[in-house]
């Protein structure tokens, strides 16, 4: 197997037991499907599988999973098309984690444009995939179909409205977009350039564009809070941390 990770089973056993999730894996490599079946089942989760894009899309629409793990290069419909179709046709937001080969890494931007929520580059470690799937499932599980939940933070991905606990965050447009980008990437760190790409996707951003908007966001989100949620990762970028 090209993505060997011998510790899958051990790691699965020793992790604290999170709520079981149901994952749909759309992947044409049989060896990878078998590895992922063992990974999810050993950790107490349920995984279903499709070997091509058309079946994967049909299964996801018929019985929406908590997380869709979607290979980019697939026979039939490719991963980007599946993702686009899913976004158009599904009646709820299904979080999508895209798998991509290293030589197709540029496609990750295209993948996000098609509506993927996260991505992993092959070869990847099993525990990393599992952790990303659990994070995706958790932040989509608040009950409201378009709401992202991270600790006490709620962000509506359509309107950009956000609140922390009972306190609504009155955010101007750009800080609200920054918060949504960070919430969609959670728990990952976004680099400055990733963040700029997501906040100004179709425009040339102003110079040093983030500084003042991050200040406004930090004031609104973390002022007076015991545990700040917006964290600067020095030399890398920014991320949100859950406050629970
Ligand atoms: Ca493939």
Render each residue's pLDDT in the chain as its tens digit; 244 residues: 344 333 444 444 444 557 899 999 999 999 999 999 999 999 999 999 999 999 999 999 998 899 999 999 999 899 999 999 998 888 778 999 999 886 666 766 666 667 788 889 899 999 999 999 998 888 777 666 678 889 999 998 878 899 999 999 999 999 999 999 999 888 889 999 889 988 887 777 777 789 899 999 999 999 988 999 999 999 999 999 999 8
What pTM was computed for the model? Answer: 0.63
9 CA to middle of ligand 1, Å?
24
What pLDDT score was predicted for residue 220? 96
Q: Are residues 18 and 86 in the same domain?
A: yes
Q: Are residues 132 and 184 in the same domain?
A: no
Residue 170 and residue 163: Cα distance in Å, rounded? 8
Instruction: Report helix, strand or coil for 26.
Output: strand
Q: Are residues 15 and 136 in the same domain?
A: yes
What pLDDT score was predicted for residue 141? 72
Domain boundary among 124, 141, 158: 141
197 CA to middle of ligand 1, Å?
27
Q: Are residues 179 and 232 in the same domain?
A: yes
Ion ligand 1, residues whose Cβ is below 5 A away? 28, 71, 73
Q: Are residues 115 and 154 in the same domain?
A: no
Q: Are residues 190 and 127 in the same domain?
A: no
Q: Are residues 224 and 168 in the same domain?
A: yes
Pairing of strands 162-164, 153-156: antiparallel
CATH number at residue 130: 3.40.50.2300
CATH number at residue 201: 1.10.10.10
172, 186 Cβ separation under 8 angstroms = no
Q: Are residues 169 and 195 in the same domain?
A: yes
184 CA to middle of ligand 1, Å?
25
Q: Are residues 163 and 111 in the same domain?
A: no
What pLDDT score was predicted for residue 5? 39
Q: Are residues 158 and 236 in the same domain?
A: yes
Domain boundary among 141, 163, 190: 141
User: Which residue range is the domain that position 230 belongs to?
Assistant: 147-240
188 CA to middle of ligand 1, Å?
24
71 CA to middle of ligand 1, Å?
6
Domain boundary among 118, 141, 164: 141
Q: Are residues 55 and 162 in the same domain?
A: no
What pLDDT score was predicted for residue 11? 42
Q: Are residues 28 and 128 in the same domain?
A: yes
51 CA to middle of ligand 1, Å?
9
Beta strands across the sheet bearing 147-150: 147-150, 153-156, 162-164, 167-169
113 CA to middle of ligand 1, Å?
20
* Alpha helices per DSSP H over 43-117: 53-62, 79-89, 107-113
Domain count, the chain: 2
């Amino acid at each position: 197997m090209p993505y060997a990770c011998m510790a899958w089973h051990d790691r699965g056993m020793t992790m604290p037991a999170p709520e079981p999730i149901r994952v749909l894996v759309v992947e044409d490599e049989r060896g990878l499907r078998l590895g992922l079946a063992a990974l999810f089942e050993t950790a107490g989760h349920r995984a279903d599988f499709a070997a091509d894009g058309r079946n994967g899309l049909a299964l996801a629409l018929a019985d929406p999973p908590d997380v869709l793990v979607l290979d980019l290069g697939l026979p039939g419909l490719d991963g980007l098309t599946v993702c686009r179709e899913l976004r158009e046709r599904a009646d709820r937001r299904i979080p999508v984690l895209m798998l991509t080969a290293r030589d197709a890494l540029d496609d990750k931007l295209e993948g996000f444009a098609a509506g993927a929520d996260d991505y992993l580059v092959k070869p990847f470690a099993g525990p990393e995939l599992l952790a990303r799937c659990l994070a995706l499932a958790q932040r989509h599980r608040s009950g409201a179909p378009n709401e992202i939940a991270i600790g006490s933070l709620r962000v509506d991905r359509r309107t950009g409205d956000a609140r922390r606990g009972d306190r609504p965050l009155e955010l101007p447009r750009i800080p609200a977009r920054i918060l949504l980008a960070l919430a969609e990437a959670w728990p990952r760190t976004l680099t400055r350039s990733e963040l700029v790409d997501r906040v100004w996707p179709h425009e040339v951003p102003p110079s040093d564009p983030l500084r003042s908007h991050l200040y406004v966001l930090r004031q609104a989100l973390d002022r007076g809070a015991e545990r700040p949620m917006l964290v600067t990762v020095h030399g890398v970028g920014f991320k949100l941390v859950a406050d629970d």
